[in-house]
């Protein structure tokens, strides 16, 4: 998430009640998670395991719960609860301010596009040219839809990430990490009915040009889908995963988080993908392996009784 | 389902044209299925296999298709078709009378709650304090939403149970058992987009405090979910199942009906749960077993060719 | 898809700029895919592999990209791009002309039916008698709903087929084949919440009388479902498949395209059906096989370590 304009670190420090160490004359351009942070941004970290990774990420300014060394030119903002500081910053610079009209005043719809009845377009939603948005679609704040996009009925674009901070000593164990990211749907994408595409937590979820998806498909936060992919019905992809161009996922395939499926891979129906898959191959099974190897497995399983008989002799 | 006020048994008997035997001066407080019935309620039974269970349940008054012995103080209402009698009673005391406004006059929304456009709130719906109900959500009659609850777009709360009486000699084999139960969503629950939570048939479906669910999750009728559970996207739970506190179900897990998953159990993605699982363990597979045992199975399957080679020698 | 009235072939030829060979005095009654085409209709074919099948189908008039022999009385319309010709014809005779009202002027609702708030009924939608259509349902153009039908909230009837023409040399590889077919829901059908039922590409998708489906079920284009079937939650059926009468599909079952499941078959939860299944049996697994054989497989897999031990000795 970027601020509308750079914000002096001293202002941030004051907001979150932080001890500011380092480059305290600087301004921050935004706040982001480590994996999508850019130079000039804030990032935050509360677990020693990730201190090094965060301090040496592209983040210029680190909200952290311990004073530690850091590269010259950067700054630390030291607080007890970096996660709470994150929530405070997002709440200050991107407050929840939902449009209560079906089409927000700030929403823009391009020439030649048809927005059918009962469609909700939130604040700053942009719909490109020659799109068809079917009835009962919901497109939430700040999402961007390209040209020649079709979105069928009941689909939700820009739902919040399923992303929580857990502390078992709280009465309610899970506290939501506010989603301040967005969804980008590129040109020529077509999305079926009753799909759900979550927004990035701080960054973006992106569906590449020409990708088509069937009904009841789930795309998690921060997932980047390439161009000209095909996702059949009831496919589910978790968060922060990368699907390269021309990948085909058949019906009810499930894909875990933070992995990569290589270009042109084909994953057969009902497979489960727990780890990255190379491009250009066909996969099957849960967990998914090479499809031919999986089919051989079935043959071998069928031969166990024969093996048993032979062994008895 | 409870009647608004106790109804004399003689009135019930007359409505359903029943022979009333036993405590005929009593009044009934409601009508419920065996597993949720309370003292003072009616229950009904039409299969000899369940006669004993029903007569000795907490039900005070039994609608039944055969005269039989029963404990003192109870009563029988004897009819040819107990299922039809149930439908008649529900239709009489809780007639289908849908609100035709987007927000029923009797619906109540607590302070600090935001109900966004295009949300349907049925008769007697209660939404607590500081909730966010996103666009295109449907909350049907008599459902109760606690405080600090978030419900994302397209989700349906209080859809009817998938619950039928079958007679193959009817032209239409399946006759719906009218749902007169409800859904209770406790405080701090967050529900993703395009989920479906069915109401109880006569009792309640309940989502415990602090539980979070991702998009496209299905919760069946009369299912009781504990506190601080996590359900990832596309999880499906059938009817009358009990999920204890702090259970985690990962993506696309399916859970069968009328079973229990113990506290703190974790079920890995795409697993299928056909029978109860103990708490505090990790499970995988369809059918789900101990996750480590399942992974060992894969190792053994891979060794079958080796076994075959060894055997040939 | 049928034209409102027969269209002279010469007019079609002129529209798509085709060379007309054969019975050029005739008129066409409609345009359809090979598997649903009827006498008097146009069909189209662009791959030599399917030339013979198309020319000898019931189609009277063939849009084709090569001049070839054909039976007397038929005609060829020769063009470079038959797929583009199809799109042009559909666009001309069934132009996309969405109703921008919640209930199209041409939509008809039968006596005793309740259409709750926020329901979209498109052009020429027919809803029969004594139906209940819950809030936030979408029924798109030309779909027909029988009598005594219940459709729960969020369900979409008549979404477009997931059906594309692929050319990898285009920037956008997949070009949608415009859906001009329809959905027919017969009497006594009940459909859960947030389901999706795609329309036929040129023909119909049909749900047989008395069939009941739970929430989040997907039915693909041109699929024909028989009478008195039960589909549990999150079942997905791909396109052009035939489900005969009284079939039961339990939760999360996936069924592939263009196959048949025989009368009375039962497919256990989470199974995947890649090929036709005979009637009257119980199936399990992905791929689904006889349920008892599948359970035996699990027993044999568990015995591999024992086999290994025996072999070592």
pLDDT in tens, A85-98: 999 999 999 999 99
**C38-72 tens-digit pLDDT:** 999 999 999 999 999 999 999 999 999 999 999 99
CB C122 within 8 A of CB C142: yes
Nearest Cα neighbor of C151 from C132, C129, C128, C138 is C132
The strand pair at C164-166 and C204-207 is best described as unpaired
CB C284 within 8 A of CB C253: no
Judged by CB atoms closer than 8 Å, whether chains meet at C215 and B160 is answered as: no
pLDDT at C101: 97
pLDDT at C24: 86
Q: Which residue of C has its CA nearest to A299?
A: C297
How many CB contacts within 8 angstroms connect chain A with chain B?
139
**B256-277 tens-digit pLDDT:** 999 999 999 999 999 999 999 9
pLDDT at B252: 98
Of A32-36, A128-132, B155-159, B180-184, the poorest mean pLDDT is in: A32-36
Judged by CB atoms closer than 8 Å, whether chains meet at A172 and B210 is answered as: yes
B257: chain C residues, CB-CB within 8 Å? none
> In chain A, which among 84-113 make CB contacts under 8 A with chain B?
96, 98-102
Average pLDDT over residues B29-57: 95
> In chain A, which among 252-271 make CB contacts under 8 A with chain C?
252, 269-270
* A134 close to C (CB below 8 A): yes
Q: pLDDT band at C207, cuts 50/70/90?
A: very high
**Strand order across the beta sheet in which C196-198 lies:** C120-121, C138-139, C156-159, C196-198, C218-219, C236-237, C254-255, C272-273
pLDDT at C300: 95
Average pLDDT over residues C131-148: 98
Nearest Cα neighbor of B216 from C253, C234, A254 is C234
Residue A241 has pLDDT above 90, yes or no: yes
Judged by CB atoms closer than 8 Å, whether chains meet at A154 and B209 is answered as: no
Residue C150 has pLDDT above 90, yes or no: yes
* A226 close to B (CB below 8 A): no
Walk me through the domains of chain A, giving residue ranges and CATH numbers: 2-93 (3.40.1390.10), 108-295 (2.160.10.10)
Q: pLDDT band at C312, cuts 50/70/90?
A: confident
pLDDT at A312: 84
Residue owning tokens 């449907």: B138
Residue C313 has pLDDT above 90, yes or no: no
CB A68 within 8 A of CB A48: no
Average pLDDT over residues B167-189: 96
pLDDT at B77: 97
**C240-273 tens-digit pLDDT:** 999 999 999 999 999 999 999 999 999 999 999 9
Pick from B192, B234, B298: which is nearest to A234 by CB? B234
CB B146 within 8 A of CB B125: no
Q: Which residue of C has its CA nearest to B164?
A: C212
CA gap A141, A145 in Å, rounded: 12
C307: chain A residues, CB-CB within 8 Å? 304, 307-308, 311
Residue A24 has pLDDT above 90, yes or no: no
Got the DSSP string for B258-308?
Answer: S-EE-TT-EE-TT-EE-S-B-TT-EEETTTTEEHHHHHHHHHHHHHHHHHH
Q: What is the pTM of this model?
A: 0.97
Residue B40 has pLDDT above 90, yes or no: yes
- Residue C298: left if φ>0, alpha if ψ -120 to 50, beta else—which one? alpha
A233: chain C residues, CB-CB within 8 Å? 162, 196, 218, 220, 236, 238
Rg (CA), chain A: 23
* A188 close to C (CB below 8 A): yes
Give the residue numbers of A annotated as catalytic, written as ranges. Answer: 221
Beta-carbon contacts of residue B141 (< 8 Å; ≥ 6 apart): B98, B99, B104, B122, B123, B124, B125, B158
Mean pLDDT, chain B, whole residue set: 97
Judged by CB atoms closer than 8 Å, whether chains meet at C136 and B140 is answered as: no
pLDDT above 90 as % of chain C: 97
**B179-193 tens-digit pLDDT:** 999 999 999 999 999
Mean pLDDT, chain C, whole residue set: 97
**B109-135 tens-digit pLDDT:** 999 999 999 999 999 999 999 999 999
pLDDT at C184: 98
Buried b (16+ CB within 10 A) or exposed e, A27-61: bbbbbbbbebbeebbbbbbbeeeebeebbebebbb
B154: chain A residues, CB-CB within 8 Å? 136, 138, 154-156, 194, 196
Torsion sign over Cα B155, B158, B160, B163: positive
pLDDT at B313: 80
Average pLDDT over residues C151-167: 97
pLDDT at B312: 84
> Looking at the DSSP assignment, which residues form a beta bridge with residue C14?
none
Q: What is the dihedral of CA B9, B11, B12, B16, to 10 degrees?
A: 140
CB B181 within 8 A of CB B205: yes
pLDDT above 90 as % of chain A: 97
Half-sphere exposure of B82 (CA within 13 A, CB side): 23
Nearest Cα neighbor of B220 from C193, C134, C125, A85 is C193
CB A196 within 8 A of CB B154: yes
Pick from B159, B238, B301: which is nearest to C192 by CB? B159
Pick from A117, A132, A301: which is nearest to C120 by CB? A117
C101: chain A residues, CB-CB within 8 Å? 117
């Amino acid at each position: 998430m970027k601020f509308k304009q750079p914000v002096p670190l001293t202002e941030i420090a004051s907001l979150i009640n932080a001890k500011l160490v380092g480059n305290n004359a600087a301004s921050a351009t935004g706040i982001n998670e480590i994996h999508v942070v850019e130079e000039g941004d804030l990032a935050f970290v509360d677990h020693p395991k990730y201190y090094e990774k965060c301090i040496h990420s592209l983040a210029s300014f680190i909200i952290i719960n311990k004073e530690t060394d850091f590269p010259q030119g950067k700054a630390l903002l030291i607080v007890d609860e970096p996660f709470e500081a994150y929530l405070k910053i997002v709440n200050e610079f991107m407050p929840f301010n939902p449009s209560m009209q079906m089409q927000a005043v700030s929403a823009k719809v391009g020439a030649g596009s048809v927005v059918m009845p009962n469609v909700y377009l939130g604040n700053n939603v942009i719909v490109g040219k020659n799109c068809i948005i079917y009835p009962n679609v919901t497109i939430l704040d700040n999402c961007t839809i390209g040209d020649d996009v079709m979105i069928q009925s009941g689909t939700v674009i820009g739902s919040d990430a399923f992303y929580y901070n857990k502390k078992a000593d709280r009465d309610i164990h899970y506290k939501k990490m506010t989603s301040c990211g967005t969804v980008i749907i590129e040109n020529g994408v077509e999305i079926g009915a009753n799909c759900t595409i979550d927004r990035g937590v701080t960054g973006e979820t992106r569906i590449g040009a020409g990708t088509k998806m069937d009904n009841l498909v789930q795309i998690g936060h921060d997932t980047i889908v390439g161009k000209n992919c095909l996702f059949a019905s009831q496919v589910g992809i978790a968060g922060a995963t990368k699907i390269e161009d021309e990948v085909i996922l058949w019906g009810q395939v499930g894909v875990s988080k933070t992995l990569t499926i290589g270009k042109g891979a084909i994953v057969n129906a009902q497979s489960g993908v727990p780890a990255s898959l190379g491009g250009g191959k066909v996969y099957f099974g849960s967990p998914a392996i090479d499809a031919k190897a999986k089919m051989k497995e079935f043959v071998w399983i069928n031969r166990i009784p024969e093996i048993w008989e032979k062994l008895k002799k």
